[in-house]
């Protein structure tokens, strides 16, 4: 054994070799009960100790061929087998060897505090834990690469294990930006036994968890609580989901979304259809249109809670709504409130395109428009409902419009302008095969042809003779009384007439008349209560249609209603109504009713045969002399 010597390995005399023994080389330590080896400290010498070698080259050199070079035994667990210290530092590191059953391990740590690094007998390594259960278990953070913002040229990754709901976190941070990092985090809720896996980026618009995978299998992007297999939530200006094809020259169909059955057969495809490359086409320009394709199945569009299905063009849902299917099933084109099964509104003023067009590609024997009833047999093209056919040539003989009903021609409009109703080949402007019934006026050259008919008065005393409060030839109910109000004589120029005369003559259609016959008698009728009938010309025996008429003005109270007083107001005007046709010899009492007391002025009340025009704005009611006693 060699000890002592100069720093260059020589003895005091400068000769190489063993030093002589100086003082004690060993002593018994009564505190521990062990024999200890102690090397004396000799001033100016650096002691080298060699065991199993005569040439130590360090403070301690061990050498042995067949046996362990150094064996340090400690009979108890939990005490440092090897202690490492540094002068001037209070911390002392220890090397521990545990040998208890099930916890055989080697650990390194600061004596009296913790054991941050352990290797189990089976090779498992623990950092921050003395009992690793995995090949490598880290209790704390793991950094790979440079850790601080000032460290350039690296990248670091942290792996954390937290207590509580969040179990594991894996994060990665680029150098130079400690606040922007990506992370993988797993959290577990012990009460519900559910877990969430989060993939995040702390700098993503302030949202820490960009994607989440729930233990039930749901994936959330922008949400940490997905309620479906895939749920995307976004409150930014980015598109929620974008799928892009960069082929600008394709002529094929590209399926973006393919929904399939359990047997892998397609149910629904959404995608794009290309129209081929073209000169100057930029990326994405080759895609001509989008498509929705249901494979052998119905395509169902549905809403809930009484909502509509709406269609937009030229700007999307913020711009122009073109069509909607309302909750009740009505379809609106150009209107947001369709009032029928099909409601079309709009069209350009002066446009030859019209509001709606139905066009056949070529002349056929089939109708252009078919309106059918829902049941019934017969010819599917003609027999049921209404069939509209636009056919024929551009000459005057061709049919521009042909309407069929129940298998027969019902209405024809020829190119030349002739119209046939019940006549398939009309020979005049209007050719009707059958009877005609109408309630308006039949005019010739703008003149009502009914004025050419002979009208006969079938009531008495249209003139206005009154005696004892009763109109001659008439009957009064209790409380009804007639009197002469005034006369309007012929021969007086209009300028000389008073305002009331002008008002009455104007209402009678004689605003500029100076001469007329007979003298106009303005009578006044009064009634004192509500009456089912008031006054009427004595019984009338009529046939066919009759007309009741008079010029009236309400003075006080409530107006008379019905018969010759129908339409009475507080202004002068023509009143009346028509009946019929009635059976021959029908007995008529033309008596208006009242709902309360009142009074009115009356001129020329009468009943005439036929349906006389009663046009208040263009009055033609006159004095009918026929049968006047």
465-503 as b/e: b if 16+ CB within 10 A: bbeeeebbebbbbeebbbeebeebeeeeeeeebeeebee
Q: For 183-219, how does the pLDDT look when each residue is reduced to its tens digit (9 = 90+)? A: 676 666 767 767 767 677 654 444 466 778 877 778 8
SS3 549: strand
| pTM (2 d.p.) | 0.39
Residues 611/577, Cβ–Cβ less than 8 Å: no
Separation between Cα atoms, residue 565 and residue 550, nearest integer Å? 7
pLDDT level of residue 362 (50, 70, 90 thresholds): low
Question: b/e per residue, 240-275, with b = 16+ CB within 10 A?
Answer: eeeeeeeeeebeeeeeeeeeeeeeeeeeebebbebe
Neighbours of 156 (CB within 10 A): 19
Task: Say if CB 251 and CB 274 are below 8 A apart.
Answer: yes
Tell which wins on pLDDT, 160 or 559: 559
Per-residue pLDDT of 493-546, as tens digits, reads 999 999 999 999 999 999 989 999 999 999 999 999 999 999 999 878 777 888
CB contact at 8 A, 609 and 545 = yes
pLDDT digits (tens, 9 = 90+) for 426-462: 888 888 888 887 666 666 555 555 555 677 888 989 9
The backbone region for 413, taken as left when phi is positive above 0, alpha when psi lies in -120 to 50, beta otherwise, is beta
Sorting pLDDT into bands at 50, 70 and 90, what band is 346?
confident
- C-alpha dist (Å) from residue 426 to 322, 367, 394: 41, 20, 17
Q: Provide long-range contacts, Cβ within 8 A and 24+ apart, for 622-625.
A: 623/462, 623/463, 623/517, 623/518, 624/455, 624/456, 624/457, 624/462, 625/457
pLDDT at 122 over 50: yes
Query: What local confidence, expressed as pLDDT, does residue 357 receive?
Result: 72
Q: State the CB neighbour count (10 A cutoff) for residue 173.
A: 23
Evaluate if residue 53 carries a pLDDT over 70: yes
Chain-centroid distance, C-alpha 603:
66
Residue 151 has pLDDT above 50, yes or no: no
Q: Distance (Å, rounded) from C-alpha 554 to C-alpha 18? A: 156
Closest CA to 594 of 536, 539, 522, 518: 536
pLDDT (average), residues 274-302? 59
What letter does residue 38 receive in the DSSP assignment?
-
**Who wins on pLDDT, 380 or 116?**
116
pLDDT in tens, 228-238: 888 888 776 66
Residue 115: what are its φ and ψ, rounded to 5°?
Answer: -125, 85
Residue 125 burial class via C-beta count within 10 angstroms: exposed 0-12, middle 13-18, buried 19 and up: middle
Confidence (pLDDT) at 61:
76
Q: What is the pLDDT of residue 156?
A: 47
Q: 30-40 in b/e burial notation, b at 16+ Cβ within 10 A?
A: eeeeeeeeebe
The pLDDT of 394-423, averaged and rounded, is: 73
CA distance 135 to 218: 31
d(CA 598, CA 629): 30
Instruction: Give the pLDDT band (50/70/90) at residue 572.
Output: very high
**Helices in 429-587 by DSSP H: which ranges?**
499-507
Stretch 274-283: mean pLDDT: 43
Give the number of other Cβ atoms within 10 Å of residue 445's Cβ: 5
504 close to 475: Cβ distance less than 8 angstroms: no
Per-residue pLDDT tens for 75-114?
667 676 777 777 767 778 888 777 766 678 888 888 777 7
What is the rounded distance in angstroms from the CA atom of residue 502 to the CA atom of residue 172?
103
pLDDT band at 277 (very low <50, low <70, confident <90, very high): very low
Residue among 493, 195, 269 at smallest CA distance from 501: 493
Question: What pLDDT is attached to residue 473?
Answer: 92
pLDDT value of residue 67? 59
In the predicted model, is pLDDT for residue 581 greater than 80?
yes
pLDDT for 412: 84
pLDDT of residue 563 exceeding 90:
yes
Look at the chain and count its residues: 629
| CATH class, 453-609 region | mainly beta
CA 586 to chain CA centroid, Å, is: 66
Q: Choose between 553 and 71: higher pLDDT.
A: 553
Distance from first CA to last CA of the chain, Å, rounded? 175
Question: By the 8 A CB rule, do 414 and 396 touch?
Answer: yes
pLDDT in tens, 235-268: 766 666 777 666 655 556 667 677 777 777 766 7
pLDDT range class, residue 16, cuts 50, 70, 90: very low
Q: Which residue has the higher pLDDT, 388 or 304?
A: 304
Q: pLDDT higher for 525 or 220?
A: 525
The most distant pair of C-alpha atoms in the chain lies apart, rounded to whole Å, by 184
Angstrom distances, CA of residue 40 to CA of 23, 34, 333: 7, 18, 110
Lowest mean pLDDT among 22-26, 185-189, 192-196, 473-477: 22-26
Q: How confident is the model at residue 17 (pLDDT cuts 50, 70, 90)?
A: very low
List the domain boundaries for the chain. 1-66, 253-276+286-294, 309-344, 381-436, 453-609
Provide, rounded to the nearest whole percent, the portion of the chain with pLDDT above 70: 60
Which segment of 135-144, 271-280, 503-512 scores lowest on mean pLDDT? Answer: 271-280
Average predicted confidence (pLDDT) for the chain: 74
* Residue 173 confidence class, pLDDT cut points 50, 70, 90: low
């Amino acid at each position: 054994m060699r000890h002592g010597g100069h720093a260059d390995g020589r003895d005091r005399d400068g000769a190489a070799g063993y030093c002589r023994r100086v003082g004690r080389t060993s002593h018994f330590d009564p505190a521990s009960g062990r024999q200890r080896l102690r090397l004396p400290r000799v001033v100016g010498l650096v002691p080298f100790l060699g065991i199993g070698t005569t040439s130590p080259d360090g403070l301690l050199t061990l050498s042995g061929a067949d046996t362990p070079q150094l064996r340090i035994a400690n009979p108890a667990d939990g005490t440092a087998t090897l202690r490492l210290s540094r002068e001037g530092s209070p911390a002392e590191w220890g090397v521990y060897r545990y040998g208890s059953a099930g916890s055989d391990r080697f650990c390194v740590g600061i004596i009296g505090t913790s054991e941050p690094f352990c290797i189990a007998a089976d090779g498992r390594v623990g950092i921050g834990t003395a009992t690793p259960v995995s090949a490598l278990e880290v209790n704390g953070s793991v950094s790979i690469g440079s850790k601080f913002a000032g460290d350039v040229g690296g990248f670091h990754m942290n792996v954390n294990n937290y207590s509580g709901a969040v179990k594991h976190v894996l994060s990665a941070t680029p150098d130079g930006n400690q606040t922007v990092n990506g992370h993988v985090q797993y959290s577990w809720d012990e009460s519900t036994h559910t877990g969430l896996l989060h993939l995040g980026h702390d700098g993503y618009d302030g949202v820490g968890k960009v994607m989440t995978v729930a233990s039930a299998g749901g994936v959330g992007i922008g949400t940490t609580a997905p309620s479906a297999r895939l749920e995307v939530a976004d409150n930014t200006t980015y598109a929620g989901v974008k799928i892009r094809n960069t082929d600008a020259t394709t002529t094929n169909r590209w399926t973006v979304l393919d929904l399939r059955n359990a047997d892998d057969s397609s149910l629904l495809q959404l995608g794009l259809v290309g129209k081929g490359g073209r000169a100057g086409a930029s990326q994405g320009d080759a895609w001509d249109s989008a498509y929705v394709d249901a494979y052998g199945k119905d395509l169902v569009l549905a809403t809930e809670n009484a909502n509509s299905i709406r269609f937009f063009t030229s700007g999307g849902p913020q711009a122009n709504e073109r069509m909607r299917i309302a909750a009740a099933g009505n379809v609106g084109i150009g209107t947001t409130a369709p009032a029928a099964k099909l409601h079309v509104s709009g069209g350009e003023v002066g446009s030859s395109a019209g509001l709606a067009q139905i066009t056949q590609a070529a002349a056929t024997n089939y109708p252009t428009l078919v309106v059918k009833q829902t049941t019934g047999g017969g010819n599917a093209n003609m027999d049921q409902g209404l069939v509209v056919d636009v056919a024929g040539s551009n000459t005057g003989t061709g049919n521009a419009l042909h309407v069929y009903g129940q298998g027969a021609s019902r209405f024809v409009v020829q190119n030349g302008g002739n119209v046939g109703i019940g006549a398939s080949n009309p020979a005049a402007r209007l050719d009707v095969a059958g009877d005609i019934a109408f309630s308006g006026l039949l005019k010739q050259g703008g003149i009502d042809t009914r004025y050419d008919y002979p009208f006969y008065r079938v009531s008495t005393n249209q003139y206005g003779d009154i005696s004892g409060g009763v109109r001659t030839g008439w009957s009064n109910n209790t409380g009804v009384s007639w009197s002469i109000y005034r006369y309007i004589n012929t021969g007086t120029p209009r300028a000389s007439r008073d305002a009331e005369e002008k008002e009455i003559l104007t209402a009678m259609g004689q605003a500029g008349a100076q001469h007329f016959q007979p003298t106009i008698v303005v009578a006044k009728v009064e009634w004192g209560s509500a009456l089912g009938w008031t006054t009427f010309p004595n019984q009338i025996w009529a046939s066919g249609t009759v007309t009741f008429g008079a010029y009236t003005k309400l003075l006080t109270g409530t107006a008379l209603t019905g018969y010759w007083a129908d339409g009475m107001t507080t202004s002068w005007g023509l009143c009346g109504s028509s009946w019929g046709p009635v059976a021959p010899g029908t007995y008529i009492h033309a008596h208006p009713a009242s709902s309360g007391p009142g009074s009115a002025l009356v001129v020329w009340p009468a009943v005439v045969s036929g349906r006389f025009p009663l046009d208040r704005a263009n009055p033609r009611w006159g004095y009918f002399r026929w049968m006047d006693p």
